[in-house]
Amino acid sequence: MSDSLFADASKRLQTAMKYASISEDAVERLKYPKASLSVSIPVRMDNGTLQVFQGYRVRYDDTRGPGKGGVRYHPNVSLDEVQSLAFWMTFKCAVLNLPFGGAKGGITVDPKALSKLELERLSRGYVDAIADFIGPDVDILAPDVYTNAMIMGWMMDQYSIIRRQISPAVVTGKPLTMGGSVGRDGATATGAFFAIEAIMPKFDQLPSQTTVAIQGFGKAGSVMAELLARAGYKVVAVSDSQGGIYAKKGLDIPSIRQYKAMGNGITALYCKNTVCNIVEHEILSNQDLLALDVDILIPAALENQITEANVNDIKAKYIFEVANGPITSEADKVLEAKGIYVFPDILVNAGGVTVSYFEWVQNRSGLYWTIEEVNQRLKQKMIEETERIWSISQELAISMRTAAYVHALNRLGEALNAKGTRDYYINGRIS
């Protein structure tokens, strides 16, 4: 991961600050993470050897509440990446008006190369190393890339062992039997779907006349594809890390999800199974998918997928960022100049942290909601904040990304200012 990822992420604020009501003190405090932790995690492998993995946790800001953010397992995880993700999470929680700050964690590892026992030792070892850095009122963990409910369950259990008390609220995205919330698994995609449904009518774009390409067919992308297909959108292309498939007439998303769940790459589905006989298709790369002439493009994989190198190939009319940071700041400028609407990650993919908040509330109250209650609360929050950001964008004639940052900065500024600013101490009086 490039060491410039955080610097690029920080550029998002420069334009937004021109429109936000925020003090110089607040701006200065948001330039730096509150705390960063790097740890070494020794793991005894199945063959008896000892391997040491590098882990990280960054709490960027906790002015509005305890840190909140996922834990990522990936070979490219670095402190720079984790800090950038924690930075984005800070603004995401402010956009959705959640009582959380931003945090993130990760381990530099290829989880596919580990056995389940090795994965459990690694996950528990990570919590051993960061236990003093996290807590239900300090910093709450959640799943991210290549982590899931089982891993979150191990982490919650390990923290509970260390504290000698059951502590379900330290982790969200857990199994239901350990205090997890219904609706959390598909929350990122469900929230993004609500955002799309709120936005597209503004452009008189009917689902049946809207083509969609989705890069990334993991926890978010696969659910996103099925929700859109079920609502009548024509999902014509999807891809995973090995490549993608494209069918002009539309794809059979439920069949692809089922095949992918069996541990197969989606590029094999249409060339080795009976679906081949149902629809014409072609195999394409992730880069080819990004360049398709579709109405909606959804990057749902990793950061920096649309850059200066390929931005001129983009033909989609609307881009909804389900991944974190899939578009670089320089590419953003080109897309805006081309008249392509970009709906930013800190709004679009905020469904995950929103339902994580719901889970945290349920854990602390001991009262648990139905899937209908969870989805209704999520829909209300996503639509409400999408409409507010759209209004800011229209009123100030700025992009949706800048509008989202303005919205978040105003809320963060209010919280930071409440602790006192230069103007208060120089000119203020206690009433």
Q: How confident is the model over 248-260, as a mean pLDDT? A: 84
For 141, the enclosing helix (H) or strand (E) is: strand 139-143
What pLDDT score was predicted for residue 425? 61
With b for 16 or more beta-carbon neighbours within 10 A and e for fewer, the 296-331 pattern comes to: bbbbbbbbbbbeeeebeebebbbbbbbbbbbbbbeb
172 & 272 share domain: no
Burial class (CB in 10 A: 0-12, 13-18, 19+), 39: middle
Answer whether residue 427 shows pLDDT above 80.
no
Percent of the chain with pLDDT over 90: 75
Whether 107 and 30 have beta carbons less than 8 Å apart is answered as no
How far apart are the C-alpha atoms of 359 and 235, rounded to whole Å? 31
When pLDDT is cut at 50, 70 and 90, the band that residue 277 belongs to is very low
Residue 302 lies in a domain: yes
101 & 133 share domain: yes
- C-alpha distance from residue 395 to each of 139, 387, 414 (Å): 36, 12, 21
- What is the residue whose two structure tokens read 């039997």? 177
Encode pLDDT of 209-237 as tens digits.
Answer: 999 999 999 889 999 999 999 999 999 99
- Show the tokens assigned to 191: 């929230």
Residue 398 lies in a domain: no
197 & 149 share domain: no
Mean pLDDT of the chain: 90
More confident residue, 318 or 248: 318
When pLDDT is cut at 50, 70 and 90, the band that residue 275 belongs to is very low
308 & 331 share domain: yes
CB atoms within 10 A of CB 23: 17
What pLDDT score was predicted for residue 1? 38
41 & 141 share domain: yes
How far apart are the C-alpha atoms of 173 and 29, rounded to whole Å? 30
Domain that holds residue 313: 187-348
194 & 324 share domain: yes
Encode pLDDT of 63-76 as tens digits.
Answer: 999 999 999 999 99
- Count of the separate structural domains present in the chain: 2
Last residue of a domain, one of 331, 348, 365: 348
What pLDDT score was predicted for residue 27? 83
Encode pLDDT of 129-162 as tens digits.
Answer: 999 999 999 999 999 989 999 999 999 999 999 9
Encode pLDDT of 168-200 as tens digits.
Answer: 999 999 999 999 999 998 999 999 999 999 999
Last residue of a domain, one of 307, 323, 348: 348
Last residue of a domain, one of 151, 178, 205: 178
Whether 172 and 141 have beta carbons less than 8 Å apart is answered as yes
When pLDDT is cut at 50, 70 and 90, the band that residue 241 belongs to is confident
Answer whether residue 270 shows pLDDT above 50.
no
Is residue 104 annotated as a catalytic residue, yes or no?
yes
Q: State if pTM tops 0.85.
A: yes
Answer whether residue 273 shows pLDDT above 60.
no
Answer whether residue 346 shows pLDDT above 50.
yes
**Which residue in the list 68, 92, 104, 234 is annotated as catalytic?**
104
Encode pLDDT of 73-113 as tens digits.
Answer: 999 999 999 999 999 999 999 999 999 999 999 999 999 99
165 & 206 share domain: no
174 & 194 share domain: no
Nearest to 127 by CA among 149, 104, 159, 172: 159
- Show the tokens assigned to 128: 């051993």
What pLDDT score was predicted for residue 274? 36
What pLDDT score was predicted for residue 267? 53
What pLDDT score was predicted for residue 272? 46
What pLDDT score was predicted for residue 157? 98
